[in-house]
């Protein structure tokens, strides 16, 4: 995505009154250019985590309206809840998603903070990347003393707000606004009601650790096991359990599955059991894919399974569905941002796809079918890799086959994407031809659009050819070294891959005829001819191996 997108995840100090929460989220949805992704209320914490995304200007406008409405409908003088808090809008972070730097995102956070302070009269503290003072970057340090202690704290010179009045408004409290990396809010469930024991686990794992006395009786800090982790223990009356409440501030340093497993180890050492976990807000897709692979690796099983299976395994292994159903399509940020119209063909079942192909519509055509053939070819080889990985007599070779299967899954997914991409490319050409051509300027614009669309319609099948050629490596490896009972499947995979390459070649050739740039056309055709020749050779080599293996077994 080239468009500048930022995510905003404000936390509002209201989790029990749906009407008030709706009033706040209505303000967000009233702004054009933003998309509300998630609303996650907690009764025990009396706090709602809201997630929305959009272009920067629209996001800070939506955030401003939400902060204003929260100040109107939430009265902090009557607020109680398990989570630390200091204001009606307790914290409002901005997170860069795409097309924008952290520095630029921080500038937008400052712009929002200044407006909230000046126009709403709410004290604003900047944090993380938006804060230049190292002593005031950490959210927990800023929030220290919480709502009740801030009437005095705000009067201290070192705690003068960055924006707004230095008087603490009793009704709205203060708010913290900043720019940060993607944070995962994650709670681990324990089979105890003891907050003290939950805190003990939290202190074991969190980076800040705990205070202990050394051999001289001096108080020192003993760091916890995990970096980029904040954690506390609390009791959730709604569920009747204690939890370790965790903020993972950099999941590339400490991923979800690592935090979970460290909680399991710590809990076990203290006679406790981890029974599951809970995700608050959204999570990146890769975090769950990594978790799924982590647990498969622990079982010494192939990680080359589908995206859906990796997610299912992650959810079950982490116990994310213990307290409530876990819907990946509502909790994974990429799924919420995905435009399902772009995946129309891949979402069809086999009969629907065949019917659509056979209909009077010119798309899907040969290009989409070629891409699908390629995906089937590499899928067969991936199947052989997974069967081989799980074969008892080859236990010591499971990692070898797992790596092949993982590569196969990546190629399969890339080729499946091309099924719809080829149809989009065709539609783009048709749309270009339908552009107006009344004036000279319109004619030029139409010609340029047609040529641009034609290039795209060549490059898509050319990519199908390359991906399908890449799949011959795994197909050949499985024909040579995979489960001998499945060698015929590898052979069929080679036939599919070769057909995919030749089919896509026909698309490259017919679309190249409409390209006016002769040099570019010749380059495209040269590349396509080379890939076609390579596919023919690779298919013949693999079929010889298949025939030889089958003859050995007969």
Check if 78 is active-site: no
Q: Region of 281 please: left (phi>0), alpha (psi -120 to 50) or beta.
A: left
Taking residue 363's Cβ as centre, other Cβ atoms within 10 Å add up to 18
Query: How far apart, in whole angstroms, are the C-alpha atoms of residue 374 and residue 497?
Result: 5
Q: Specify whether the CB–CB gap between 73 and 20 falls below 8 A.
A: yes
Q: Specify whether the CB–CB gap between 243 and 234 falls below 8 A.
A: yes
Cα 303 to Cα 292, 319, 390, 432, 534, distances in angstroms? 8, 20, 11, 43, 30
Query: How far apart, in whole angstroms, are the C-alpha atoms of residue 42 and residue 32?
Result: 28
For residue 64, the number of C-alpha atoms closer than 13 Å in the C-beta half-sphere is 21
Catalytic residue among 290, 420, 422, 489: 422
Catalytic residue among 40, 83, 420, 489: 83
Query: How far apart, in whole angstroms, are the C-alpha atoms of residue 49 and residue 277?
Result: 17
Check if 83 is active-site: yes
Instruction: Return all residues near 301 (Cβ < 8 A) that are at least 6 apart.
Output: 389, 390, 398, 402
Using alpha carbons, select from 103, 133, 106, 246 the residue that is nearest to residue 184: 246
Instruction: Return all residues near 523 (Cβ < 8 A) that are at least 6 apart.
Output: none
Query: How far apart, in whole angstroms, are the C-alpha atoms of residue 3 and residue 97?
Result: 10
Using alpha carbons, select from 57, 4, 7, 3 the residue that is nearest to residue 283: 7
3-state secondary structure 499-531: HHHHHHHHHHHHHHCCCCCHHHHHHHHHHHHHH
Q: Region of 128 please: left (phi>0), alpha (psi -120 to 50) or beta.
A: left
Q: What is the DSSP annotation of 43-80?
A: TTTTEEEEEEEE-HHHHHHHHHHHHHHHHHH--GGG--
3-state secondary structure 441-482: HHHHHHHHHHHHHHHHHHHHHHHHHHHHHHHHHHHHHHHHHC
Query: How far apart, in whole angstroms, are the C-alpha atoms of residue 548 and residue 213?
Result: 72
Does a cis peptide bond (omega within 30 degrees of 0) precede residue 344?
A: no
Q: Please, what's the b/e burial string for 262-275 (b: 16 or more CB within 10 A of its CB; e: otherwise)?
A: bbeebbeebebebe
Unique residue bearing structure tokens 């100090």:
13
Q: Specify whether the CB–CB gap between 184 and 251 falls below 8 A.
A: yes
Q: Which residues are catalytic?
A: 83, 422
């Amino acid at each position: 995505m080239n468009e500048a997108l930022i995510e905003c995840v404000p936390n509002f100090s209201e989790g029990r009154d749906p009407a008030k929460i709706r009033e706040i989220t209505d303000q967000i949805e009233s702004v054009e250019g933003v998309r509300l992704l998630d609303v996650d209320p907690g009764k025990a914490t009396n706090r709602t985590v809201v997630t929305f995304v959009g272009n920067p200007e629209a996001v800070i406008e939506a955030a401003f309206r939400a902060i204003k409405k929260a100040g109107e409908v939430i009265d902090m003088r009557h607020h109680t809840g398990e989570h630390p808090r200091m204001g009606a809008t307790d914290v409002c972070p901005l997170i860069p998603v795409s097309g924008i730097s952290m520095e630029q995102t921080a500038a937008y956070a400052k712009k929002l903070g200044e407006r909230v302070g000046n126009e709403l009269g709410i004290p604003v503290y900047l944090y993380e990347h938006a804060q230049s003072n190292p002593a005031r970057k950490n959210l927990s340090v800023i929030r220290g003393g919480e709502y009740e202690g801030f009437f005095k704290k705000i009067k201290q010179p070192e705690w003068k707000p960055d924006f707004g009045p230095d008087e603490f408004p009793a009704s709205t409290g203060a708010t913290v606004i900043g720019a940060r990396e993607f944070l995962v809010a994650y709670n681990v469930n324990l089979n105890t009601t003891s907050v003290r024991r939950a805190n003990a686990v939290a202190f074991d794992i969190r980076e800040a650790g705990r205070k202990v006395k050394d051999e001289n009786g001096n108080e020192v800090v003993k760091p916890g096991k995990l970096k980029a982790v904040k954690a506390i223990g609390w009791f959730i009356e709604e569920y009747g359990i204690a939890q370790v409440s965790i903020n993972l501030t950099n999941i590339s340093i400490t991923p979800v599955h690592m935090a979970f497993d460290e909680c399991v180890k710590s809990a076990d050492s203290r006679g406790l059991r981890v029974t599951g976990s809970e995700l608050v807000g959204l999570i990146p897709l890769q975090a769950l894919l990594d978790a799924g692979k982590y647990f498969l690796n622990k079982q010494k099983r192939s990680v080359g399974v589908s995206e859906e299976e990796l997610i299912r395994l992650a959810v079950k292994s982490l116990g994310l569905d213990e307290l409530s159903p876990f819907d990946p399509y509502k909790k994974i940020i990429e799924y919420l941002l995905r435009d399902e119209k772009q995946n129309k063909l891949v979402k069809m079942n086999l009969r629907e796809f065949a019917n659509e192909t056979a209909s009077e519509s010119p798309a899907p055509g040969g290009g989409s079918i070629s891409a699908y053939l390629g995906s089937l070819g590499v899928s067969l080889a991936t199947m052989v890799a997974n069967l081989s990985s799980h074969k008892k007599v080859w236990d010591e070779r499971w990692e070898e086959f797992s790596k092949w299967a993982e590569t196969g899954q990546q190629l399969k997914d890339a080729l499946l994407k091309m099924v719809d991409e080829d149809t989009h490319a065709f539609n783009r050409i048709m749309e270009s031809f339908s552009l107006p051509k009344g004036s000279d300027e319109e004619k030029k614009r139409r010609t340029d659009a047609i040529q641009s669309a034609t290039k795209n319609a060549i490059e898509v099948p050319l990519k199908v050819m390359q991906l399908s050629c890449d799949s011959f490596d795994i197909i050949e490896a499985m024909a040579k070294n995979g489960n001998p009972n499945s060698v015929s499947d590898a052979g069929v995979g080679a036939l599919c891959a070769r057909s995919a390459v030749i089919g896509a070649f026909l698309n490259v050739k017919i679309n190249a005829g409409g390209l006016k740039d002769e040099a570019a056309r010749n380059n495209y055709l040269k590349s396509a001819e080379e890939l076609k020749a390579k596919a023919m050779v690779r298919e013949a080599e693999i079929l010889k191996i298949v025939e030889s293996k089958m003859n050995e077994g007969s």
